[in-house]
């Protein structure tokens, strides 16, 4: 099963994906994680991508498409994958279609802007496991009490002013994909402004 998770930053795409990949026996591919990996490794691509990411802009299509194609050609993707954060533009979606990859379903997670900003500024990622947590009381999941504080990292692009720019880019460049996949009849909408368990249950039902 090949899936796309669509939605604004902070919609919960990464969190939900982490909760369902094992059940489905498929892998999660986050282009954000791939790009952050390239930045950390100091590759040529990472150096080019960094300034776009830091400012909240999208990385140019040609850089991301190459990275994604390389990743989905790997052996662990044979049984299927969730694309988390790709495609982000119509040209990226067209390129995916042209490469012959069949997408079974696109799940679109809907969340209002104020919730996005709150969730993202409270997000922390475990350096050791990559697990996503949140330090605000109304957000979830919380890191366990005994979790070492120094393991929890805040992303550079999770500051409020950068998040607001990411939202603008989302609306201009990424939201048109809702219509693109709706026309193909493979789009499922999910209200992601609910408790995590409810969203996970809705996503599993939609994909059953």
Stretch that binds ligand AP5, among 69-77, 133-141, 146-154, 177-185 (CB under 6 A): 133-141
123 catalytic? Reply is: yes
- Beta-carbon count within 10 A of 90 CB: 15
Q: Which residue from 134, 177, 187, 188 is in contact with ligand AP5, where contact means CB under 6 A?
A: 134
Q: Which is nearer to ligand AP5, 19 or 105 (CB)?
A: 19
Q: With b meaning 16 or more CB within 10 Å and e meaning fewer, what string describes 128-165?
A: eeebbbbeeeebeeebeeeeeeeebeeeebbeeebbee
- The answer to whether residue 203 forms part of the interface with ligand AP5 (CB under 6 A) is no
- The answer to whether residue 202 forms part of the interface with ligand AP5 (CB under 6 A) is no
CB 105 within 8 A of CB 189: no
CB 138 within 8 A of CB 25: no
Footprint of ligand AP5 (CB under 6 A)? 7, 9-15, 30-32, 35, 52-53, 56-59, 64, 85-86, 88, 92, 119-120, 122-123, 132-134, 139-141, 157, 166, 192, 196, 199
């Amino acid at each position: 099963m090949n899936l796309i998770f669509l939605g604004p930053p902070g919609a919960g795409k990464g969190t939900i994906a982490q909760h369902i990949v094992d059940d489905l026996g498929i892998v999660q591919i986050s282009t954000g994680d791939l790009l952050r990996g390239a930045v950390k490794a100091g590759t040529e691509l990472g150096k080019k991508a960094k300034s776009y990411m830091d400012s909240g802009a999208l990385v140019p299509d040609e850089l991301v498409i190459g990275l994604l194609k390389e990743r989905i050609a790997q052996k662990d993707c044979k049984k299927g994958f969730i694309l988390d954060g790709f495609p982000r533009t119509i040209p990226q979606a067209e390129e995916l279609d042209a490469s012959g990859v069949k997408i079974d379903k696109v799940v679109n997670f809907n969340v209002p802007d104020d919730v996005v900003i709150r969730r993202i500024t409270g997000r922390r990622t475990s350096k050791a496991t990559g697990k996503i947590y949140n330090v605000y009381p109304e957000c979830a999941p919380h890191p366990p009490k005994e979790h070492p504080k120094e393991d929890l990292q805040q992303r550079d692009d999770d500051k409020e002013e950068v998040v607001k720019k990411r939202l603008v880019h989302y609306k201009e460049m990424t939201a048109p994909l809702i219509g693109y996949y709706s026309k193909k009849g493979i789009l499922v909408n999910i209200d992601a402004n609910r408790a995590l368990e409810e969203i996970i249950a809705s996503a599993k039902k939609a994909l059953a």
